[in-house]
Amino acid sequence: MQKVDVDFCWLQPKQCQDLKLPAYETAQSAGMDIAAAVDGPVELLPGAIALVPSGFAVALPDGYELQVRPRSGLAVKHGITVVNAPGTIDADYRGEVKVGLINLSRKSFVINRGDRIAQLILAPVCQASLHPVAELEPTQRGSGGFGHTGIK
């Protein structure tokens, strides 16, 4: 498995000593779990959205992004997911990593300091070079979409 160096910075080191570095939970995990750096419990009411701080910033190498994705356990068991999933942290962003969470359940959910709230996936990025044309090459599918292939 390829390893890529990423610079990591706690924004207020003394206030974040109780938080864990983002970490892979197993040797073959694709995502690093990240913890909530909230000062106290945050109640997420049904349908509500909260921007949850992580307490850190990163410097990614050129050609990479961090994708912010939901944790499957929170999503399936509690209806808590990332509202803009997957969120993107660009290589030139140096601000605090924050996670937009939404409660899709019918019950309130409390986020406590240190709770694992999302996962980060480091991914390579390609940029498109667009070439305007008068029309596109035809395909068997054509312009059919949204169930057009018969998959239900």
Average pLDDT along the chain: 95
Asked if pLDDT for residue 11 goes beyond 70, the answer is: yes
Query: Hey, how many other C-beta atoms are within 10 angstroms of the C-beta on 20?
Result: 11
Phi/psi of residue 109, each to 5°? -135, 135
SS3 13: helix
**C-alpha span between 42 and 36 (Å, rounded):** 10
Confidence of residue 74 (pLDDT cuts 50, 70, 90): very high
The helix, strand and coil proportions of the chain, stated in percent and rounded to the nearest 5, come to: 5, 35, 60
The structure tokens listed for 67 are: 């994708």
The model carries a pTM of 0.89
The residue assigned the tokens 């000062």 is 39
**C-alpha span between 68 and 82 (Å, rounded):** 8
Helix (H) or strand (E) holding 7: strand 7-10
The pLDDT tens digits for 88-97 are: 999 999 999 9
DSSP 76: H
Extents of the domains making up the chain: 7-124
The CATH number assigned to the domain with range 7-124 reads 2.70.40.10
